[in-house]
Amino acid sequence: MVKKNITKIDKKVNKKVNKKVNKKVNKKIDKNITSKTPAGMSDESFSVLVGCVLIGMGVGFYFNNLLPFMFIGLGIGFLILVFMKKKINN
């Protein structure tokens, strides 16, 4: 009888401890999900900029003038980031 009560109490304590541990682990995992590039920006922001630069280089390759179109693509990438962050924050 006493042994059964002890096991019930142990199970309840283990459930509470596991919930607390899982919450702490999940918070740490959430912080690590948004990894940073060496430049200090998130991976999503970096990929938007690189994608726009590559599209600009593709257009520039078509017109035999890479550099100006690469910078135009970079500018468009920054504009996309600025406007998307405004929409997300509002």
Asked if residues 26 and 35 have their Cβ atoms less than 8 Å apart, the reply is no
Res 90: pLDDT = 47
Is the Cα torsion angle 5, 6, 7, 11 positive or negative in sign?
positive
Model's pTM, two decimal places? 0.51
**59 vs 34, higher pLDDT:** 59
Give me the residue spans of the domains in the chain.
1-33, 36-90
Q: Rounded CA gap, 82 and 77, in Å?
A: 9
Q: What pLDDT, on a 0 to 100 scale, did the predictor assign at position 72?
A: 92
Count other Cβ atoms within 10 Å, centred on residue 55.
16
User: CA 6 from chain center: how many Å?
Assistant: 45
Rounded to an integer, the average pLDDT of 41-52 is 80
